[in-house]
Structure 1
């Protein structure tokens, strides 16, 4: 029993060859492309992948379209991004799960090694961060328009192995373009008061990294000087300084992203007629560096 693969793409000719090469063990690779204008589709078809195209609207809708509207050869579907490489140990672990029909899990999360300036920035990227990567399409749904969250009909599993994330392969300009879009969505959600704002104090002490991150996210709503605090938290408290110069620069990039969200949130709220006040915080993204 093997595993199907679903990759969502938009102009990924730089990243896709390495991603597909690390997936050569699968005989059912599907590309859901958002009408790329580069060689993405050509590269995918040359590698034997099935290619479907759909105009991109939101992350959760695009992913759910791929999982529900496309027929896969196998019950389990692996969902890497195009800038990710799948090492052999992760492949073997997933295949072992697929061969065991008694597994009760609806989906599995995996940790990643985030690469920046030629090295794994372990401390600067909030390691370990768990991302949904292996799913049973008939038992999951995704929600949230950016940094989508998986909800499953059944237990959640955690993979022991890592995938490798090359989020800067297309250069800083592409990173800024993507996070400019992300910050606009985050600001819109925050200014419209559609994000959860209740602080779960117990989660701050949880042994689960994703629960701690949600607690910190809710707490950050009440904090002033959020971009500065974000940098200090990542660089000093989380030990980003131990990642050397790449760690310093990466923490600065994350602080810049936070600042974009804060300013855009203020702009949105004034447009909506709210009383002017201090800059308010909005949701900390679930995967710092997720596909950053």
Structure 2
């Protein structure tokens, strides 16, 4: 059910202008949204795609001059694709930050430079982020660099996968040199656990329904962080003691200990998330055999 009608079904006829629009997906983000919007004052076309928040999210968005479109949330990729295909944006390029992200000036300048160059062949750009925890950038424990698609041409891309959605296109992609700042714990540990409880359920369902992915050594030793991450994830799914191995990899091999106490705590949180996936996967497989957990 829609509280606000969609503005358009396609962006293919939108007037091409040398700027960048923004699309922010929200649900009860009154704690995060003000900082996100404050870092986007340079953007003259901000759309907040809201999943019927019950707090002040919509009020904050409208007060900042953003357009608000509401749509019932089903999956991450489904909601993102709804926004990219149903909203008519002012500009050809759309920046898609989460509400708990802040956009520094150097990232702004880089994206605007891309938008001013009509000869660019790319359909999307990925960016790295600085993950903040306990007032510190968790550089080592967070497996930096992690690349996430943040700048897209809506009519040229598609997002798949229910959590941690992945962008694909028939056109090439690129990488931004500047970072965005990610405050994933801004709403507190309770909210973080709640989100990862949902995510681990989806991850377990995918693992229970599909055979373990093939392990490719070329991926594991790739120089590209995203390719190497996929290879390591495929390897880890086939090994015992996954939560412990993930902690050792993050804290010892990747140098999480260099991030001090925040790094140790972060590694423990992520290994706990891995343990949730393992247990839920086993539960689903036992239930398929008619066994109790």
Of residues 203, 212, 216, the one that matches 1:200 is 216
Q: SS in structure 1 opposite 2:177?
A: strand
Residue 264 of structure 2 corresponds to residue 242 of structure 1 = no
- 5 Å-filtered alignment, 1:16-165, equals 16-165=33-182
Cα distance per residue 1:44-97 (max 9 Å; x no partner): 000000001111100010000000011101000000000000000000000000
Q: SS in structure 2 opposite 1:231?
A: helix
Residues in 1 aligned to 2:206 and 2:238: alpha-carbon distance in whole angstroms: 16
Contact 2:212 2:237 in 1 (8 A): no
Cα distance per residue 1:95-150 (max 9 Å; x no partner): 00000000000100000000000000100100001000000001100000000000
**4+ residue runs of structure 1 moved beyond 4 angstroms?**
none
CA RMSD of aligned residues (A): 1.2
Residue 272 of structure 2 corresponds to residue 261 of structure 1 = no
* TM-score between the two structures when normalised by the length of structure 2: 0.92
Residues in 2 aligned to 1:44 and 1:147: alpha-carbon distance in whole angstroms: 24
Contact 2:158 2:167 in 1 (8 A): yes
Q: SS in structure 2 opposite 1:199?
A: coil
* TM-score between the two structures when normalised by the length of structure 1: 0.93
Aligned to 1:290: none
Q: SS in structure 2 opposite 1:198?
A: coil
Q: SS in structure 1 opposite 2:238?
A: coil
Aligned to 1:211: 227
Number of residues paired by the alignment?
A: 275
TM-superposed deviation, 1:153: 2.2
Residues in 2 aligned to 1:219 and 1:169: alpha-carbon distance in whole angstroms: 32
